[in-house]
Amino acid sequence: MNTQKLLGIGAFVIAVYVAVPLAIALSGRWDFYYTLTSVALLSVASAGVWLTFYIGRINIGQGAYALAGGYVSAILVTTAGVSFWLTLPLAGVFCAALSVLIGLPILRLRGVYFAMVTLVLTEVARLTALALPVTNGAKGITSIPLPGEVSILGLTLIPDFATLGNPKLAFYFMAVTLMVICYACLWRIVNSRLGHLCRSLQQNEELAASIGVNTAYLRVLAYSISSFFGGIAGAMFVAISQSIYPSSFQVADSVNFMLNCFLGGLGYVFGPMLGTLLLYFGWDLLFTTGRYQLLIYSSLMIALMLVLPNGLLSLFDRKGGRK
């Protein structure tokens, strides 16, 4: 990793952990913590969608795994008394296992058919949540406890969120840390041998298979990692809202996860992060346009995809290479 990239990463870490909290404290706009926390978690789910794009598949079903991960965490916390911090990885593992069962048959389909199948997954997850007794149907699961304390040998690593006067800052740091870890893992995957093999699927699956690449295994593996990201993001959302309903994640959310990747740049690991930030705030800014909000939003998205097919990050890529 060159010096320029290290400086960029250092500046980003300082910005999210120091500059942003300081700016919010000076402005007194504590509500921004919830907004930025949401952006961080949405970008984590979008990072998973980006990984499926990386193997040449269009994933429009990430909302299903976010919903499933949220319910797994909520059920374990409320009915079994399991610590939220333990349910976080369990939610991701559950979604990864579920995606393997779903992905084994449908990942054999061509890209366009795979996209059509994933489009219905979120609605299937919603209807399942409505029907199952353990999810409490349309009433959802409410009054979910805040994350508890984590300590080792009497040393408190994470305080009990219920004892904090204002847990918004704690949730912000929790979400940002999760985002940093997920994108660091994603960057490492892309720049490893596994990532190079995944890129070969994107370019030509038949050619990759002809030289001995196990294409089916790579597709399922990438899809399971993608779903893991969606599951932990959904579990984190549940901890913040302290409730979950079948409508907590809908088809529109799955579409937005995909658009975040397009907007930031499909050829860039950190594209989903930038895309999520701009799409989230851009939609809110367009709220002042009233009934023309959706029209302007759609027109801008189409124009950006036509003018910048490689996303906004391509503006900073003078050499035109991948980041």
Please state, in angstroms and rounded to a whole number, the distance separating the CA atoms of residues 210 and 44: 34
Mean of pLDDT over the chain: 89
Name, in order, each residue with C-beta under 8 angstroms of 141's C-beta and a sequence gap of 6 or more: 71, 74, 75, 78, 135, 243, 244
pLDDT score at 196: 87
Q: Which amino acid is located at 75 in the chain? A: I
Instruction: Tell whether 243 is covered by a domain.
Output: yes
Q: Mean pLDDT throughout 116-121? A: 88
On the CB side of 43, CA atoms within 13 Å amount to: 31
pLDDT score at 111: 65
The answer to whether 30 and 168 have CB atoms below 8 angstroms apart is yes
Using the Cα atoms of residue 301, residue 254, residue 223 and residue 91 in order, give the sign of their dihedral.
positive
Instruction: Tell whether 128 is covered by a domain.
Output: yes
Give the three-class secondary structure for 212: coil
Instruction: Tell whether 200 is covered by a domain.
Output: yes
Instruction: Tell whether 58 is covered by a domain.
Output: yes
pLDDT, tens digit (0-9, with 9 covering 90-100), for 229-260: 999 999 999 999 999 999 999 999 999 999 99
The answer to whether 35 and 23 have CB atoms below 8 angstroms apart is no
The answer to whether residue 129 scores a pLDDT higher than 70 is: yes
Instruction: Tell whether 220 is covered by a domain.
Output: yes
What number of other Cβ atoms are within 10 A of residue 202's Cβ?
15
Between 266 and 232, whose confidence is greater? 232
Please state, in angstroms and rounded to a whole number, the distance separating the CA atoms of residues 103 and 157: 38
pLDDT score at 173: 93
pTM: 0.91
On the CB side of 128, CA atoms within 13 Å amount to: 13
Please state, in angstroms and rounded to a whole number, the distance separating the CA atoms of residues 238 and 251: 18
Domain of 41, in residue numbers: 29-250
Under DSSP, the state recorded for 160 is -
Please state, in angstroms and rounded to a whole number, the distance separating the CA atoms of residues 224 and 170: 29
The answer to whether residue 323 scores a pLDDT higher than 50 is: no
pLDDT score at 1: 55
Please state, in angstroms and rounded to a whole number, the distance separating the CA atoms of residues 78 and 73: 9
Exposed / middle / buried, residue 100 (Cβ in 10 Å: 0-12, 13-18, 19+): middle
Instruction: Tell whether 257 is covered by a domain.
Output: no
Report helix, strand and coil shares of the chain as percent, to nearest 5: 75, 5, 20
The Cα diameter of the chain in Å comes to 60
Please state, in angstroms and rounded to a whole number, the distance separating the CA atoms of residues 261 and 46: 7
Instruction: Tell whether 256 is covered by a domain.
Output: no
The answer to whether residue 321 scores a pLDDT higher than 50 is: no
- Domains contained in the chain, number: 1
Instruction: Tell whether 2 is covered by a domain.
Output: no
Calculate what percentage of the chain has a pLDDT beyond 70. 96
H helices within 80-204, ranges in order? Answer: 84-106, 111-119, 121-131, 168-190, 193-203
Using the Cα atoms of residue 47, residue 51, residue 54 and residue 58 in order, give the sign of their dihedral.
negative
pLDDT score at 164: 87
pLDDT, tens digit (0-9, with 9 covering 90-100), for 163-194: 888 888 999 999 999 999 999 999 999 999 88
